[in-house]
């Protein structure tokens, strides 16, 4: 039997897959479960000497420098706690510029002179690790002979245990830097950008009269979309294995047109997976709150309760890892790629973003009368200004090969950056700009559904606009262009930096314009000026429409359609100055980032091209040859019986196969050549990326078109790759 058919049979007959077995151990209740694998505040308070605990909390909560003398005590308590939970090893857990996480495990083992084992973990081991950095991307910062890299304990993100059936490992979140002190990871710049924004936001709040605030936090809740497919199918798709997305696949008869998946009843199989997943994430202290079916078939979403952005970023990395692990246990594969399937929706990560002061007040809470809420209006205008001035950076922060298939593809926000604030806020802003009173506010009105037994609903202050890349949703902004597989550290680092620049500028203007007298007037005038100048970035229409593309061009907004264009000016002198001023990246570090993201793009396309070539040559073409022979045999057999028989049908079918086959061969030739030329390109990293974009990507589209045509012509029993109708609809 064809392996694909064997997989279909196995999946449809294996009842253990369809009805997952009951958990043997009774499920612990959520309050006991939550955070049980985290060395969190609760565990720290219970296990650390009081003075050590207080010193540690001062670092975590108030950002004070870590006192290295407490490290031994913390390490010891952490070790005892971990061992009680079955740990034998510890690892510094860090996030190199691959966009993934990295770890190197060490056991707590020490030998005594009489040959026994004792378990040790010192403050030095907690604070500093020294993985060989030479095999991580550095963007040119580090040459191979300077291989040293350091990981440094990040006490603001709690240590946790990763458990498997055979043991547990204590994971210590760390930052990762070269021996010259330059950041080699995603976390260090994020931490730096949080410090930058806190400093300037506190300064602005003091100018607004809020003198008690000492620290401002960035809050973030990333909604995560993903696909689940049968593991047996995954193994039969070399493209999914090598690249995480399908490079081939004809459109199935049914896609998402019927809109029958979104928010639909969750199947037993998937629900079992989700419950297991949540169970594990809750133990890791990750506050997963929602689960539902997404728009595309086999697509799902989860969302956590928001947290401080540095913790949210760690938690999202862990969430992606656990998603994959748990799926595997359930005979499934979790696909995090932005566009695993052509023709149905892709996956994103809605990055909900706000600022909160150290009393927990959300600085983007408009209240009932936003026009009277000066603090809200100041921060809102600062963000509007930041997004308008730095559209290019925001766009660059989501530029990846995978996201290119999604952005602007009629389902996800376009590559043009704009802001949606909703009708009420837009009126408040425009009334300010035009110097008139705001129209009667929409708040307080009730929504009546025309059925007496249904309760009246309080109406939200604004409708939603799902098409906007950057939308104000009540009391936070939602950056929707982030890709589903991306680390959120990078887009949030950029958001923090551009918002910090804007807040800093506003504070400086307020100081410059009016020392004495009523600051409110000065501030109001400034807010009005900022909105007047930057209102072109506001758009509440349909971001998917062609009219918006033209309108945006008239407004002078940028439309950076693909990754190489979006990255072209990332390390421009102006951006280098911006990041250096807020101490997020030195010019060299920024250039290294730019190199890494450009190279990542080229590598990805290169791997996709090779995978495509292999699949086309060794799976698709042989199936097409066999199909040709069957038709040719049929023609001969029929003519042998009756030389006058009408074999036009067979001949036409054969001609169609032959035509698609020839197109496939010729497109493959182009692909191999363009990939080779891009690889051999003598220009800089961005020229190489551009070469891949301009030649290899279109050649891949031609290869795919011809192969997908063959899929629709070749006998089903000859076709080796699981088809979309199976990948997306069989569970
Ligand atoms: P919706 O997208 O429907 O508005 P929610 O209100 O449930 O959904 O929020 C979606 C995500 O936004 C959740 O992860 C939530 O925790 C997060 N979120 C809510 N408030 C904030 C905030 N102040 N800062 C950052 N994220 C937030
Ligand atoms: Mg949302």
Give the closest residue (by CA) to ligand 1 atom 19. 306
pLDDT confidence of residue 319: 98
At 316, the pLDDT band (50, 70, 90 cuts) reads very high
| Cα 476 to ligand 1 centroid, rounded to whole Å | 7
Give the closest residue (by CA) to ligand 1 atom 4. 473
Which residues contact residue 277 at a Cβ distance below 8 angstroms, ignoring those fewer than 6 apart? 288, 302, 322, 323, 326
C-alpha to C-alpha distance for 720 and 8, rounded to whole angstroms: 12
**pLDDT tens digit sequence for 379-411:** 999 999 999 999 999 999 999 999 999 997 767
For residue 150, the SS3 value is strand
Q: Is 221 in the pocket of ligand 1 (CB under 6 A)?
A: yes
Q: Is 308 in the pocket of ligand 1 (CB under 6 A)?
A: no
pLDDT confidence of residue 421: 92
Are the C-beta atoms of 420 and 470 separated by less than 8 Å? yes
| Cα 366 to ligand 2 centroid, rounded to whole Å | 18
Counting Cβ atoms within 10 Å, is residue 559 exposed (0-12), middle (13-18) or buried (19+)? Answer: middle
596: nearest Cα among 142, 136, 141, 139: 139
| Cα 640 to ligand 2 centroid, rounded to whole Å | 66
| Cα 214 to ligand 2 centroid, rounded to whole Å | 30
Ligand nearest to the CA of 482: 2
C-alpha to C-alpha distance for 73 and 71, rounded to whole angstroms: 5
C-alpha to C-alpha distance for 148 and 142, rounded to whole angstroms: 9
Provide the 8-state DSSP code for 222: E
Radius of gyration of the chain (CA): 28
Q: Tell me how far the alpha carbon of residue 24 is from its chain's centroid.
A: 34
Q: Tell me how far the alpha carbon of residue 273 is from its chain's centroid.
A: 21
- Characterize the bridge pairing of strands 446-447 and 477-479: unpaired
For residue 307, the SS3 value is strand
Candidate from 97-111, 440-454, 584-598, 670-684 with smallest mean pLDDT: 440-454
At 696, the pLDDT band (50, 70, 90 cuts) reads very high
In the predicted structure, residue 101 carries a pLDDT above the cut 80: yes
Cα Dmax for the chain: 106
Tokens 């496939």 -> residue: 664
Structure tokens at 371: 């026009």
Q: Where are the alpha helices (DSSP H) in 63-186?
A: 71-84, 123-127
Candidate from 147-151, 195-199, 260-264, 639-643 with smallest mean pLDDT: 260-264
Q: Which atom of ligand 1 lies closest to the CA of 222?
A: 14
| Cα 440 to ligand 2 centroid, rounded to whole Å | 27
Give the closest residue (by CA) to ligand 1 atom 25. 220
Are the C-beta atoms of 248 and 708 separated by less than 8 Å? yes
Of 221, 263, 356, 473, the residue with max ligand 1 atoms within 8 A of its CB, to mutate for a pocket test, comes to 221
At 492, the pLDDT band (50, 70, 90 cuts) reads very high
Mean pLDDT on 67-82:
93
Share of the chain above pLDDT 70, in %: 93
Q: Is 219 in the pocket of ligand 1 (CB under 6 A)?
A: yes
| Cα 352 to ligand 1 centroid, rounded to whole Å | 6
Share of the chain above pLDDT 90, in %: 74
Counting Cβ atoms within 10 Å, is residue 546 exposed (0-12), middle (13-18) or buried (19+)? Answer: exposed
Q: Is 224 in the pocket of ligand 1 (CB under 6 A)?
A: no
Angle at 164 between CA 158 and CA 165, to 5 degrees: 150
Q: Is 476 in the pocket of ligand 1 (CB under 6 A)?
A: yes
319: nearest Cα among 84, 160, 137, 131: 160
At 43, the pLDDT band (50, 70, 90 cuts) reads very high
* CA 299 to each of CA 226, 289, 347: distance values in angstroms, whole numbers, following the listed order: 6, 18, 8
Are the C-beta atoms of 530 and 432 separated by less than 8 Å? no
Ligand nearest to the CA of 356: 1
C-alpha to C-alpha distance for 624 and 715, rounded to whole angstroms: 9
- Output the average pLDDT for the chain: 91
pLDDT confidence of residue 163: 92
Q: Which atom of ligand 1 lies closest to the CA of 290?
A: 7
| Cα 181 to ligand 2 centroid, rounded to whole Å | 38
In the predicted structure, residue 96 carries a pLDDT above the cut 70: yes
Which residues contact residue 556 at a Cβ distance below 8 angstroms, ignoring those fewer than 6 apart? 536
Mean pLDDT on 163-168:
90
Of 310, 312, 352, the residue with max ligand 1 atoms within 8 A of its CB, to mutate for a pocket test, comes to 352
| Cα 480 to ligand 2 centroid, rounded to whole Å | 8
At 612, the pLDDT band (50, 70, 90 cuts) reads very high
Are the C-beta atoms of 576 and 582 separated by less than 8 Å? no
Ligand nearest to the CA of 305: 1
Strand partners, 170: 90, 161
Q: Is 602 in the pocket of ligand 1 (CB under 6 A)?
A: no
Of 219, 304, 306, the residue with max ligand 1 atoms within 8 A of its CB, to mutate for a pocket test, comes to 306
Q: Which atom of ligand 1 lies closest to the CA of 356?
A: 23
In the predicted structure, residue 491 carries a pLDDT above the cut 80: yes
Which one is predicted more confidently, 436 or 231?
Answer: 231
pLDDT confidence of residue 24: 45
C-alpha to C-alpha distance for 42 and 11, rounded to whole angstroms: 45
Q: Which atom of ligand 1 lies closest to the CA of 354?
A: 24
* CA 224 to each of CA 99, 313, 323, 333, 638: distance values in angstroms, whole numbers, following the listed order: 16, 12, 10, 16, 57
Q: Is 473 in the pocket of ligand 1 (CB under 6 A)?
A: yes
| Cα 497 to ligand 2 centroid, rounded to whole Å | 23
At 707, the pLDDT band (50, 70, 90 cuts) reads very high
Strand partners, 230: 332
Ligand nearest to the CA of 288: 1
pLDDT confidence of residue 427: 87
Domains assigned to the chain: 1-29+226-243+260-347 (3.30.590.10), 34-182 (3.10.20.70), 186-223+361-585 (no CATH), 598-727 (1.20.120.1560)
167: nearest Cα among 87, 73, 254: 87
DSSP output for 486-514: S-THHHHHHHHHHHHHHHHHHHHHHHHH-
- Where residue 417 falls (left for φ over 0; alpha for ψ -120 to 50; beta otherwise) is beta
| Cα 355 to ligand 2 centroid, rounded to whole Å | 17
Are the C-beta atoms of 112 and 64 separated by less than 8 Å? no
Q: Is the overall model pTM greater than 0.85, yes or no?
A: yes
Mean pLDDT on 616-626:
98
In the predicted structure, residue 442 carries a pLDDT above the cut 60: no
Are the C-beta atoms of 464 and 471 separated by less than 8 Å? yes
Q: Is 487 in the pocket of ligand 1 (CB under 6 A)?
A: no
Q: Is 304 in the pocket of ligand 1 (CB under 6 A)?
A: yes
| Cα 90 to ligand 2 centroid, rounded to whole Å | 36
Q: Which atom of ligand 1 lies closest to the CA of 353?
A: 25
| Cα 262 to ligand 2 centroid, rounded to whole Å | 14
In the predicted structure, residue 690 carries a pLDDT above the cut 50: yes
Q: What are the phi and psi torsion angles at 68 (to 5°)?
A: -60, -20
Are the C-beta atoms of 108 and 79 separated by less than 8 Å? yes
**pLDDT tens digit sequence for 652-666:** 999 999 999 999 999
At 140, the pLDDT band (50, 70, 90 cuts) reads confident
For residue 404, the SS3 value is helix
At 136, the pLDDT band (50, 70, 90 cuts) reads confident
Q: Is 475 in the pocket of ligand 1 (CB under 6 A)?
A: yes
| Cα 353 to ligand 1 centroid, rounded to whole Å | 8
Structure tokens at 672: 């191999």
- The 3 state secondary structure assigned to 159-185 is CEEEEECCEEEEEEEEEEEECCCCECE
C-alpha to C-alpha distance for 203 and 213, rounded to whole angstroms: 9
Q: Is 362 in the pocket of ligand 1 (CB under 6 A)?
A: yes
Q: Is 315 in the pocket of ligand 1 (CB under 6 A)?
A: no
pLDDT confidence of residue 448: 53
C-alpha to C-alpha distance for 522 and 387, rounded to whole angstroms: 23
99: nearest Cα among 331, 377, 336: 336
Give the closest residue (by CA) to ligand 1 atom 17. 221
| Cα 368 to ligand 1 centroid, rounded to whole Å | 19
| Cα 300 to ligand 1 centroid, rounded to whole Å | 17
C-alpha to C-alpha distance for 128 and 174, rounded to whole angstroms: 9
Which one is predicted more confidently, 137 or 632?
Answer: 632
At 451, the pLDDT band (50, 70, 90 cuts) reads low
């Amino acid at each position: 039997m064809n392996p694909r058919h064997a997989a279909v049979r196995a999946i449809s007959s294996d009842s253990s897959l369809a009805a997952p077995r009951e958990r043997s151990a009774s499920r612990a209740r959520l309050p006991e479960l939550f955070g049980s694998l985290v060395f969190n505040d609760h565990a720290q308070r219970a296990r650390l000497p009081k003075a050590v605990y207080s010193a540690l909390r001062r670092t975590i909560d108030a950002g004070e420098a870590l006192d290295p003398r407490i490290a031994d005590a913390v390490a010891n308590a952490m070790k005892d706690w971990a061992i009680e939970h079955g740990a034998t090893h510890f690892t510094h857990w860090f996030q190199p510029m691959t966009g993934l996480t990295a770890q190197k495990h060490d056991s707590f083992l020490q030998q005594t002179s009489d040959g026994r084992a004792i378990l040790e973990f010192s403050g030095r081991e907690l604070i500093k690790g020294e993985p060989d950095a030479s095999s991580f991307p550095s963007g040119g910062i580090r040459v191979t002979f300077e291989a040293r890299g350091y990981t440094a304990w990040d006490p603001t993100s709690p240590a946790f245990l990763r458990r498997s059936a055979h043991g547990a490992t204590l994971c210590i979140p760390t930052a990762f830097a070269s021996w010259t002190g330059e950041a080699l990871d995603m976390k260090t710049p994020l931490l730096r950008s949080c410090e930058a924004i806190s400093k300037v936001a506190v300064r602005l709040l003091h100018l607004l009269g809020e003198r008690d605030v000492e620290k401002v936090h960035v809050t973030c809740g990333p909604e995560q979309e993903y696909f689940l497919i049968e593991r047996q199918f995954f193994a039969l798709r070399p493209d999914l294995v090598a690249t995480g997305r399908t490079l081939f696949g004809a459109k199935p008869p049914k896609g998402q047109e019927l809109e029958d998946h979104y928010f639909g009843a969750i199947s037993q199989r998937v629900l079992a997976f989700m419950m297991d997943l949540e169970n594990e994430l809750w133990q890791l202290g990750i506050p997963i709150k929602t689960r539902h079916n997404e728009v595309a078939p086999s697509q799902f979403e989860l969302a956590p309760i928001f947290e401080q952005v540095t913790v949210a970023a760690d938690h999202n990395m862990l969430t992606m890892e656990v998603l994959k692990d748990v799926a595997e246990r359930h005979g499934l594969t979790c696909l995090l790629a932005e566009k695993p399937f052509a023709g149905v929706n892709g996956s994103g990560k809605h990055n909900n973003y706000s600022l909160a002061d150290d009393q927990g007040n959300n600085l983007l809470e408009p209240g009932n009368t936003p026009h009277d809420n000066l603090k809200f209006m100041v921060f809102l205008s600062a963000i509007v200004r930041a997004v308008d001035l730095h559209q290019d950076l925001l766009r660059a922060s989501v530029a990846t090969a995978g996201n290119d298939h999604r952005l602007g593809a009629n389902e996800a926000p376009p590559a043009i950056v704009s802001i949606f604030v909703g009708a009420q806020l837009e009126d408040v802003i425009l009334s300010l700009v035009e110097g008139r009173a705001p129209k009667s506010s929409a708040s307080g009105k009730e929504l009546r559904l025309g059925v007496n037994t249904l309760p009246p609903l309080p109406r939200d202050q604004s409708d939603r606009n799902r098409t906007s890349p950057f939308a104000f949703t009540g009391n936070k902004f939602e950056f929707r262009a982030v890709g589903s597989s991306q680390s959120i550290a990078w887009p949030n680092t950029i958001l923090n930096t551009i918002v910090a620049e804007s807040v800093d500028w506003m504070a400086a203007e307020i100081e410059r314009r009016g020392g004495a007298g009523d600051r409110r007037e000065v501030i109001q005038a400034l807010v009005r000026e900022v909105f007047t100048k930057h209102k072109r970035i506001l758009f509440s229409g349909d971001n998917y429409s062609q009219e918006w593309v033209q309108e945006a061009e008239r407004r002078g907004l940028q439309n950076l359609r693909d990754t190489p264009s979006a990255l072209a000016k990332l390390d421009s002198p102006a951006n280098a100055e911006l990041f250096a001023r807020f101490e997020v990246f030195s010019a060299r570090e920024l250039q290294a980032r730019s190199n890494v993201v450009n190279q990542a793009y080229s590598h990805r396309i290169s791997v996709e091209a090779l995978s495509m070539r292999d699949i086309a040559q060794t799976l698709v073409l042989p199936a097409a040859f066999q199909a040709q022979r069957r038709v040719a045999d049929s023609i001969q057999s029929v003519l042998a019986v009756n030389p006058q028989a009408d074999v036009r049908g067979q001949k036409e079918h054969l001609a169609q196969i032959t035509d698609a086959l020839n197109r496939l061969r010729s497109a493959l030739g182009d692909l191999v050549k363009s990939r080779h030329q891009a690889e051999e390109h003598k220009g800089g990293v961005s020229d190489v990326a551009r070469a891949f974009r301009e030649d290899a990507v279109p050649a891949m589209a031609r290869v795919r078109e011809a192969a997908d045509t063959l899929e629709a012509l070749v006998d089903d029993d000859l076709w080796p790759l699981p088809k979309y109708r199976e990948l997306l609809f069989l569970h």
